[in-house]
Amino acid sequence: MNLPTDVAKLRQVLLGWTRRSGQGAGEESLYAEATSLLSQLPTTPRLRAALYRVLADMPRMVNTGATTDPIGRAGTGIELSGSGRRIVIDETSGRLLAAEERDARALTSWTALTASGWTDARPALPTRTID
């Protein structure tokens, strides 16, 4: 599927997904769809820019400024105010570094992205499991 890089068209596609999945069309749902694409699929620079613009146009999005992600990389924090959700972006490359969730006290969940791309190679499976 080719996603539009026009911000208004992309927003409509994302809102359509949220409605079809029963999430509604609120900012939390739109944030979830946009960050899911940014964190789970390799995206082109144009699509990333459009996704960031969709997020930036949301009234509750706040630039929290310079920060580090959970593994110590420098970036810029962008937060959905009142939700406990924040993404950390590398401003130089435009790549998503991390997606975080917090409660009133602490970081409760995070995903750090170190690489993103398509491959034909099979992943290496872990040699042991964590009990």
Confirm whether 1 is domain-assigned. Answer: no
Determine if the pTM surpasses 0.75. yes
Res 48: pLDDT: 93
Write out the residue range of the structural domain in which residue 103 sits: 7-112
Burial 66-99, CB ≥16 within 10 A → b, else e: ebebeeeeebebbbbeeeebbbbbbeeeebbbbb
Confirm whether 16 is domain-assigned. Answer: yes
Confirm whether 44 is domain-assigned. Answer: yes
Confirm whether 106 is domain-assigned. Answer: yes
Confirm whether 121 is domain-assigned. Answer: no
Confirm whether 90 is domain-assigned. Answer: yes
Q: For the chain, 131 residues long, give each residue's pLDDT as a single digit of tens.
A: 689 999 999 999 999 988 877 776 688 889 999 999 999 888 889 999 999 999 999 999 999 999 999 999 999 999 999 899 999 999 999 899 999 999 988 999 999 998 888 889 888 887 876 66
Confirm whether 124 is domain-assigned. Answer: no
Q: Please count the structural domains in the chain.
A: 1
